[in-house]
Structure 1
Amino acid sequence: MRPLVLVDMLSYTGTKGGMETYTRELYGHLGRMETGLDFVALASLEGARLDLSWFPGEVIASRISGENRFIWAFGELVSSSWVASRRKADLVHSPATLGPMWTSMPTVITIHDMLYWSHPELMTTPLYTRPVMWMEQRGAANAAHVITDSQVSAAEIVKYLDFPRDRLHVVPLAAGQPVDRVAVDGRTENLILASGQRRPHKNWDRLIRALALVEQDVRPRLVITGGRGEDPLAPVVAEAGLADWVELRGWVADDELADLRSRARAMAFPTLAEGFGLPILEAMAEGLPVLASDLPVLREVGGDAAVWFDPLDLESIASAIRLAATRPDELSVMAAAGLERSRSFSWERVARETLEVFHRALAGQG
């Protein structure tokens, strides 16, 4: 009888960006491998209504809302372990940073970042910060092994959660299949693309204000996707007098985002803190040059294949934008370098190395 892995997908609602990309790609690829394991997912109320045909096993539809923070928190701490026991699971995997506070079987948690610990001042809901920190502590204390996306995040998990380094595994994320090298040419539209949720650490306000410093005769149009509801960046655009230069789009479908990437001259990522930096890797895989914050965690992803700027310095950001708007020769070199860089990351590797951690946990190693 094959070991059964319960996958905690209570946070999966279709609105969580990179963590959900990770879950889809990981389990989609595991489904195409001989793993020696069976899988069952515990889905949120919202997630169970989505197309989960990529998941390689049964999906249990719960009544737990992944959008209601308090109901979801209870589900993460208690309900997932109860269902795992009821289904006689041999292992629990929590792919979205938080996990059960107690289980009778080994648990593996993928912790994507430690932003609530390293940058609590940038979190949107201060009253929620302490509870999240406590939940991360409890989940890690129960975990047999922890997977994370970068060396920077691994160091922070050891620092803040005191998790043993020998049970901590760095498995970098990946992007889709890189495009052909020929496809990097022909980006003639003076457009900069930026994508992400409207959380303070994303630093969108400085990107907008830096755009105002770029001379109008070369200034590119800026499209920022990823907002939901009333966009908090609208007042910033109005204050900077950039209504004709900045387009704020909401959450866009994958095909619309791919279209924007194919037309844009570069992608801007002005973040102040990340656990990995998946958007810049996805851009590189599509031959899109990247302008990004000069942070160690992003250097792990982009190496020398990006234009790096100081995310706290408006003129530094503006200089990167000017380069993208006026130096097509350098953009072509960057696009080729980014494309080559993206080929060193793969979801097949993510699946393979994660599977190795699962088997270590099942064997009682750690």
Structure 2
Amino acid sequence: MSQALKAAVLQSAAIWGAPRVARAARRAVRALDPAAPQPSGSRRRQLLVDVSIIAAHDAGTGIQRVVRSLLAQLLRSPPAGFDVRPVRATRKTPYCYAALFPESHASAPHRSASEAPGEAVRVESGDMFLGLDLTSRIVPRRQRDLLAWKRQGVRCAFVVYDLLPFQHPHWFTPRARRSFRHWLSTLAVHADELWCISRTVARETDALMQRRFGLTNADIAIRSFDLGAETLDRAHAASLPASDRRREYAHPMLLMVGTIEPRKGHAQVLDALDALWRDGADVTLVVVGAPGWHVEPVVQRLQRHAQSGRRLFWLHDADDTRLEELYAQADGLVMASEAEGFGLPIVEAARYGKPLFLRDLDVFREVAGEQATYFRATNGDALARELSDWLALLSAGAAPTSDAIEPITWSASADQLKALVAALTDTA
């Protein structure tokens, strides 16, 4: 059996059903790498950035906000020696060059006719593939592309946002769980490095790679980088005329931001507020987020709640401008997620110095430190008590604020990503 055929057979076995084969598959794939990959002639290296999901449909989720923001920064200021090329694929079609997003056209480098949108990706030694988008259903089906690229000296890195479908499978559909397992196996076989969005996720990923695939950090480097937030004038959104802000909410107004999913804790927060409202508390909750999966009871509750339109508001299609207005108006941010990879709303709210009421998660403490109030309640009644105490602190002006949190910009976040690209290039 040829080395190439052996690698193909082993990678298929590892991805589709035998994760413990991943270590052997990884060795077989690496044996195909050119000894010293270098770009030919004067050609600049390509940084192939996977945007398969967002190129098909931008639903505005947290991950897609990250992809959109980082891609725009990479296109404006590519890593040294690289041209940034967005690419896309489907489960049935190989990778091709993707159309650039409109806001990036002006700053994108010139592209040759052979690299027009829709054209098949062409690689040479020294190019790099960056799995920026979460394409768990696509990447395992593109193992042939990845193997061909590795044979030509392409390095592969993937961004890991979280491990939730593996850690908490009951929150996800059977197809989502299955696809995520295949995606993890693909990373175990092909990734030169994994770049995680928090140190917490990096620790969890390192442990998973060792436990499930027998891979140590010597086999696959696992690093982390910080996510950014848009720069802004804090006073601008708050000073908009009421007609521009479209609605003023009764205060105190609490804000929850994120897709409606079981793990986000909306049901528990509603249980707590129901108890407070029954006791006469005058507090408003604004929920921002599109409906996800397994959330029909929560969606119906939001739509039919007795306080809907009075003290409870659900905005399922708020754009970025509207979201900024809400951050400016809010008296505090509530994040009740039972698990997260980062917690982007925390840094978004911190740009306004808002008080934070967060579930006591390691990753939230990593992001917010002592600049937040943490709760550990596991049911609505217990949360009502902790929430009532925090509201009293808010009223007295004594609640910790997030002023001391210094979110980095998306430009700075992209700089960290570019440093990872440079470091991986140097190890090639």
Q: What is the TM-score with the length of structure 1 in the denominator?
A: 0.81
Q: Distance in 2 between matches of 1:29 and 1:137?
A: 30
Name the stretch that deviates more: 349-358 or 82-91. 82-91
The alignment partner of 1:363 has SS state of helix
Taking the TM superposition and a 5 Å limit, the aligned residue runs for 1:69-218 are 83-85=120-122, 90-98=127-135, 99=139, 101=143, 102=146, 103-104=149-150, 105-123=154-172, 125-162=173-210, 163-165=215-217, 167-177=221-231, 179-180=233-234, 189-215=251-277, 216-218=279-281
Taking the TM superposition and a 5 Å limit, the aligned residue runs for 1:1-366 are 1-12=43-54, 13-33=57-77, 35-36=79-80, 37-43=82-88, 48=99, 51-53=102-104, 56-57=108-109, 61-62=117-118, 83-85=120-122, 90-98=127-135, 99=139, 101=143, 102=146, 103-104=149-150, 105-123=154-172, 125-162=173-210, 163-165=215-217, 167-177=221-231, 179-180=233-234, 189-215=251-277, 216-228=279-291, 232=296, 233-237=298-302, 241-243=306-308, 244-310=310-376, 312-328=378-394, 331=397, 334-335=400-401, 338-343=402-407, 345-365=408-428
Q: Distance in 2 between matches of 1:317 and 1:117?
A: 28
Q: Distance in 2 between matches of 1:21 and 1:237?
A: 24
Give the partner amino acid of 2:224. V
Once the two structures are TM-superposed, the CA of residue 160 in structure 1 deviates from its matched residue by 1.9
The alignment partner of 1:340 has SS state of coil
| CA RMSD, Structure 1 to Structure 2 (Å) | 3.3
Give the partner amino acid of 1:342. E
The alignment partner of 2:275 has SS state of coil
Give the partner amino acid of 2:175. L
Q: Distance in 2 between matches of 1:301 and 1:245?
A: 30
Q: What is the TM-score with the length of structure 2 in the denominator?
A: 0.70
Contact 1:269 1:292 in 2 (8 A): yes
Contact 2:258 2:264 in 1 (8 A): yes
Q: Distance in 1 between matches of 2:275 and 2:70?
A: 42
The alignment partner of 2:403 has SS state of helix
Which is higher, the Rg of structure 1 or of structure 2? 2
Q: Distance in 2 between matches of 1:21 and 1:110?
A: 14
Name the stretch that deviates more: 324-333 or 288-297. 324-333
Q: Distance in 2 between matches of 1:219 and 1:363?
A: 59
Give the partner amino acid of 2:252. N
Contact 2:238 2:325 in 1 (8 A): no
Q: For structure 1, which runs of at least 5 residues remain unmatched after alignment?
A: 63-81
Distance 1:228 1:329, change over 3 A: closer
Give the partner amino acid of 1:349. A
Give CA deviations for 1:284-340 in whole Å, capped at 9, x if unaligned.
Answer: 1122221111100111111111111125232343234324543336656533xx122
Contact 1:41 1:60 in 2 (8 A): no
The alignment partner of 1:319 has SS state of helix
Name the stretch that deviates more: 87-96 or 188-197. 87-96
Q: Distance in 2 between matches of 1:222 and 1:292?
A: 15
Q: Distance in 2 between matches of 1:342 and 1:10?
A: 32
Q: Distance in 1 between matches of 2:259 and 2:358?
A: 16
Contact 2:258 2:289 in 1 (8 A): yes
